[in-house]
Structures are given as structure tokens and as C-alpha cells.
Structure 1
């Protein structure tokens, strides 16, 4: 699902809200998650999951084209871990869909 599809889904579920307001709300949520992660913080949405930053240490990698050794710098990577409720709900829905 893309951001625009999410906005349309919310608009369909809540016809009393304007699309521009929904867009502002969704953009604000994403911006706040991004700001928190860029500061090294963590965002936890109970029942859904947690966004946090993992640190990948510097290492020696390989250039796939030439096979030469390449130094890869340390980097910080955003990561998402699903919550228990989301995992259960997703697995149950996928199992039900497979039965049909």
C-alpha cells in the first residue's frame, strides 16, 4: 500500500474528513517518525510494532563485479519490528485466505 492509497482508504472509512486534512495527518505522523529515528530515537506503536535504528559496523565487503575488497563504512539503518498483535492478526488472515 502506498501513502496515497492509505489516504484514500482513510477517506473512504471517514467521509466526514477532507482529503487534504487526512494527507496532513498522515504526513505529520511519518515526519515525526522520521525525525525521531534521525535523532537515534525509537517509536513504538502498541499492538503494531516499533521503529528503531540499528547500527551496522564497518566491514570489508566485495565488489560483485570485480571481486575486489571494498571498505564499507559504519552506517545506521532504520528497522521495523512487528508487534505481537500485528503478527497474530496477519498470520490468522493469511491462513484463512489460504483455506479459501
Structure 2
């Protein structure tokens, strides 16, 4: 499912127009992104938790040249599915 399909599904389930649904989906995604940029956790009960994790710097190998390279530390988004989010 892509974003357009998500907007359509939300519009259908909530009885909204596609424009209203797009605004709602965009607002939710912006709020989640804003919280993660501030390194806050976003917990959606029954769905899951988004958080920011820090990956340490490490050594890697350039596959083209086989030379060792230093991969810098970075922050990544982590998602942990909630117990009720189960695929059957």
C-alpha cells in the first residue's frame, strides 16, 4: 500500500473526502516525524512504537575496491510492532 492508497482507505473508512483524508494523513505523519526529530518516542497503543536509535561508527569494506572504510555513527528510526498488530 502506498500513500495514495492509504489516503483512499482512510477516506472510505472515516467517511471523508480524499482531500480531507490527505490532510489528516499528512498531519499524522508530520507529527510523528516532528517528534522523532526531537528524539521523542511515539507510542501508538495497539499499533506500535517509533523511536530513534543511535548506530555507532564502524569499519566496513568498499565492495568495489576492497578497501576498508570508516562508516560514521548515525541515528535511525526504529519501529517495534505492538502485540495487537498481528498479520494472519
Normalised by the shorter chain, which TM-score bucket? over 0.9
Shift of 1:64: 1.0
Equivalent in the alignment of 1:58:
57
Gaps of 5+ in 1: 94-100
Equivalent in the alignment of 2:79:
80
Tell me which structure has the larger Cα radius of gyration.
1
3-state DSSP of counterpart to 2:76: strand
Q: Which structure carries more relative contact order (alpha carbon 8 Å, separation 6+)?
A: 2
Shift of 1:43: 0.3
Higher helix share: 1
What TM-score comes out, normalization by structure 2 length?
0.93
Q: How does 1:1-100 map to 2 (within 5 A)?
A: 1-15=1-15, 17-87=16-86, 90=87, 93=88
On the 8 A contact 2:11/2:20 being kept in 1, the answer is: no
Query: What is the alpha-carbon distance in structure 2 between the residues aligned to residue 38 and residue 61 of structure 1?
Result: 27
3-state DSSP of counterpart to 2:19: helix
Gaps of 5+ in 2: none
What TM-score comes out, normalization by structure 1 length?
0.83
Query: What is the alpha-carbon distance in structure 2 between the residues aligned to residue 12 and residue 28 of structure 1?
Result: 18
The alignment covers a number of residue pairs equal to 88
